[in-house]
Structures are given as structure tokens and as C-alpha cells.
């Protein structure tokens, strides 16, 4: 037998590119265009480098407590990880172990099928309706667990909490994960449903609304029992997931609620303005409640626009995938960045 026969072969997730150009406009990975809270910068500048000798707190105690206080839950209901990708991967391996297929939307975060394949979890993709909202009925078939983002990505569409509850109601015997990576841009968190459903896990991130993608901070909130199971798995893989600077800086980001609210409000305002201008340019898109717009042009193919923008060092995201290969996912940047992009598009589309 060759050693390669024993390799766990997977097709990895492909993240958006991270080009490093001086004057580029980077609208391809849903990062926040504004810096983290001012207190975070102060902490970075005053960091006690000697502390880097030591391992970080395995339980991220200060951050877990800060998040518990902020969201009004017990610390034993909070689990943190290295970005929500880490939290989600840990949740997949912990909660989706029944041998029955898990359910998620066909158009959604493209990491879900990668984790499912990695952990040998069977899955069924539930087709979104023609209007790209979730088809709730599809989530009522027998399954080994459910996961969906709300708002969904890359569509940007938010589902009302009554819809989320209908899915929870139909799936009381499995874990239901709601990935709220984009909830701070005008959606509504389903955290209050935790009182009624001990099989609900709500996952959020500091990468978008808290401007800290570079530090890799994510968390989830669920019943104490679920969090215990997650910790059992985490401590069976790597005790020291979140590094010390991230733990300290994340606490500061949560404390500065006024800054957080001002940043999300600015992005929402820019998004609503950009929607109007894009409509005038002939784009159509679902009514996003996130920090991105998933747009198609009425006449010009998405791939062509993607390439034309790229030549201007304006990076957006395009997937050459069935059902979405005429769409561009455009992150909301600063007003200035969006104006540059819109200005280019105005000229480019006029000549077409
Ligand atoms: N969930 C969704 C829906 C996302 O789009 C992303 C960002 N790629 C993530 C989770 C992961 O984000 P992070 O690991 O930076 O927290």
C-alpha cells in the first residue's frame, strides 16, 4: 500500500485573494474599511511584549465574560475561537456526528460543504427559492443537523426570526446552527430564541462589524450543555486556540459599543446609497442587510465587469459557479472607495 492511499483527501475552501498593492480598493472579502476601536490601537501600542513568552489563557476567560455580559448570557454559554471559521469547524465536528445528512442552503457560505467533506458528514443542499430566500419546507426533511447564515451569504438576504423559529421548531432533535457573521448590518440576532431552544447555536465574528479580521476572533453562544461539548472537542485538538493579544483587544472592542454602533451605521448608510446608484447603472440585487451587495448587471456579464474592475485594482468577488456565475459580491467600503468604483462603472458601462 502506498502512503498516499491513507491520506485524507479534501478539496479545500478558496478564500478571496489578499493582494498587496498600494492604491487598491479591496472589496472582495467583506472586511471592514474602518479601523478597530481606538482603544484597540492603544492596547496594541502599549502591549507588554514580555507576556508573549507565556501561553495564553486556554479559556479566554476575560473575553468570554465580556461577551456574556454584553449579550446577557452566562459565561458558560459562550465559546470563542480563531475566527468564526474555527468556531464553525469545531461545531461541525462536535454536533454533526449522526451519519444522517445535514441540511444547508444550496447558495450559501461555501465553507460548509468543505467542512462536511473533511469530517465525512453527509449533506443535502436545500435549493433557495427563486427570490433567493430560504425554502423553509426543505428544512423539514429528516436530517442530522441544520446550518444556515442569517443574513445569508453571498445573497445578503435576511430571514425574519419567525422563519428561523419555524426551522427550529421542525428540528428539535438536532443541532441548528445560525451563522450570524453579518447580523450587525441591519439584521436581527436570534439570540433571544436560546431561551426556548437548547439545540440552537448562534455564531458571530469580529471580522466584519468589529473591524478585526486580521486578529481572527469568532464566538458562539448556546446552551451550557452545547458549549461544554464544544470545549471537550476543542481541548481534544488544541488547548491554546486564541492568542493573548486577540483576547485582550477583543475585550476592548466589545467595551467600545459607541464606536461599534457608529461604524455599522456608517456602513449601512453607504450601502443604502450605493444600492440606489447601482440600480441607476442597471444592476439588480437582493435587498442586502449585510456589508456587501450581490449584484448582476442587466446586460453585461459579471465576469467581464469583474475583470474590468480588477484592471483598475478594484477587487470584488466572483464565483464561476452554477446559479451565481452572473453575480458579483461587492463589499461596502468607505464612501470614497465606493465613489471611485461607481465612477469607473459609470464610464465603463456607458461604452458597452
Ligand atoms: N460565516 C460566513 C457566512 C462568512 O461569510 C464568513 C467570512 N468568510 C465566515 C463565517 C468566517 O469569518 P471569520 O472566520 O473571519 O470569522
pTM above 0.95, yes or no: yes
Look up the domain containing 148 and give its range: 51-255
Q: Is the domain of 226 the same as that of 330?
A: no
Given this model, what pLDDT does residue 1 score? Answer: 81
Q: Is the domain of 180 the same as that of 293?
A: no
Domain boundary among the residues 188, 221, 255 is at 255
Closest to 139 (Cα-Cα) out of 148, 130, 131: 148
Q: Is the domain of 327 the same as that of 215?
A: no
CA of 208 relative to ligand 1 center, distance in Å: 8
Atom of ligand 1 nearest to the CA of 205: 16
Given this model, what pLDDT does residue 351 score? Answer: 77
Given this model, what pLDDT does residue 241 score? Answer: 96
What CATH number is given to the structural domain containing 232? 3.40.640.10
Q: Is the domain of 241 the same as that of 265?
A: no
Domain count, the chain: 2
CB 224 within 8 Å of CB 194? no
Closest to 58 (Cα-Cα) out of 218, 239, 250: 239
- Taking CA atoms only, the protein residue closest to ligand 1 atom 12 is 84
Q: Which residues pair with 78 in a beta bridge?
A: 221
Residue 46 lies inside a defined structural domain of this protein: no
Pocket of ligand 1 (CB under 6 A): 83-85, 109, 149, 153, 179, 181, 205, 207, 213, 218
Domain boundary among the residues 195, 224, 255 is at 255
Closest to 337 (Cα-Cα) out of 31, 40, 14, 6: 31
Q: Is the domain of 138 the same as that of 157?
A: yes
| H, E, C per residue of 109-167 | CCCHHHHHHHCCCCEEEECCCCCCCCCHHHHHCCCCCEEEECCCCCCCCCCCHHHHHHH
Q: Is the domain of 183 the same as that of 113?
A: yes
Q: Is the domain of 324 the same as that of 340?
A: yes
Local confidence pLDDT in tens for the 352 residues of the chain: 899 999 999 999 999 889 989 899 999 999 999 999 999 999 999 999 999 999 999 999 999 999 999 999 999 999 999 999 999 999 999 999 999 999 999 999 999 999 999 999 999 999 999 999 999 999 999 999 999 999 999 999 999 999 999 999 999 999 999 999 999 999 999 999 999 999 999 999 999 999 999 999 999 999 999 999 999 999 999 999 999 999 999 999 999 999 999 999 999 999 999 999 999 999 999 999 999 999 999 999 999 999 999 999 999 999 999 899 999 999 999 999 999 999 999 999 997 8
Residue whose CB lies within 8 A of the most ligand 1 atoms, among 18, 27, 28, 84, for a mutation test? 84
CB 342 within 8 Å of CB 302? no
CA of 9 relative to ligand 1 center, distance in Å: 23
CB atoms within 10 A of CB 35: 12
Residue whose CB lies within 8 A of the most ligand 1 atoms, among 148, 153, 155, 206, for a mutation test? 153
Given this model, what pLDDT does residue 40 score? Answer: 97
Atom of ligand 1 nearest to the CA of 88: 10
Residue 188 lies inside a defined structural domain of this protein: yes
Amino acid at each position: 500500500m502506498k502512503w498516499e492511499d491513507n491520506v485524507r483527501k479534501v478539496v479545500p475552501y478558496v478564500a478571496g485573494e489578499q493582494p498587496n498593492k498600494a492604491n487598491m480598493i479591496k472589496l472582495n472579502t467583506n472586511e471592514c474599511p474602518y479601523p478597530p476601536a481606538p482603544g484597540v490601537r492603544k492596547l496594541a501600542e502599549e502591549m507588554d511584549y514580555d507576556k508573549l513568552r507565556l501561553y495564553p489563557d486556554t479559556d479566554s476567560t476575560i473575553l468570554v465574560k465580556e461577551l456574556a455580559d454584553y449579550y446577557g448570557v452566562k459565561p458558560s454559554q459562550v465559546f470563542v475561537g480563531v475566527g468564526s471559521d474555527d468556531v464553525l469547524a469545531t461545531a461541525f465536528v462536535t454536533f454533526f456526528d449522526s451519519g444522517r445528512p445535514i441540511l444547508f442552503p444550496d447558495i450559501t457560505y461555501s465553507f460548509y460543504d468543505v467542512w462536511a467533506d473533511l469530517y465525512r458528514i453527509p449533506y443535502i443542499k436545500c435549493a433557495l427559492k427563486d427570490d433567493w430566500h430560504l425554502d423553509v419546507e426543505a428544512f423539514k426533511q429528516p436530517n442530522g443537523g441544520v446550518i444556515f447564515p442569517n443574513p445569508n451569504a453571498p445573497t445578503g438576504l435576511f430571514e425574519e426570526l419567525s422563519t428561523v423559529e419555524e426551522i427550529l421548531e421542525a428540528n428539535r432533535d438536532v443541532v441548528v446552527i445560525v451563522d450570524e457573521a453579518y447580523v450587525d448590518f441591519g439584521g436581527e440576532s436570534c439570540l433571544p430564541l436560546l431561551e426556548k431552544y437548547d439545540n440552537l447555536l448562534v455564531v458571530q465574528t469580529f471580522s466584519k462589524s468589529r473591524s478585526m479580521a486580521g486578529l481572527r476572533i469568532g464566538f458562539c453562544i448556546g446552551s451550557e450543555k452545547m458549549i461544554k461539548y464544544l470545549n471537550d472537542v476543542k481541548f481534544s485538538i488544541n488547548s491554546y486556540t486564541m492568542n493573548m493579544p486577540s483576547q485582550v483587544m477583543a475585550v476592548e472592542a466589545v467595551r467600545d459599543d459607541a464606536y461599534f454602533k457608529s461604524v455599522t451605521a456608517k456602513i449601512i448608510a453607504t450601502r443604502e446609497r450605493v444600492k440606489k446608484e447601482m440600480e441607476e447603472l442597471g444592476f439588480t440585487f437582493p435587498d442586502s442587510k449585510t456589508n456587501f451587495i450581490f449584484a448582476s448587471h442587466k446586460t453585461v456579464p459579471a465576469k467581464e465587469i469583474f475583470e474590468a474592475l480588477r484592471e483598475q485594482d478594484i477587487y470584488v468577488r466572483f464565483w464561476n459557479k452554477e446559479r451565481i456565475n452572473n453575480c458579483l459580491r461587492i463589499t461596502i467600503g468607505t464612501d470614497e472607495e465606493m465613489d471611485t468604483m461607481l465612477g469607473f462603472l459609470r464610464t465603463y458601462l456607458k461604452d458597452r
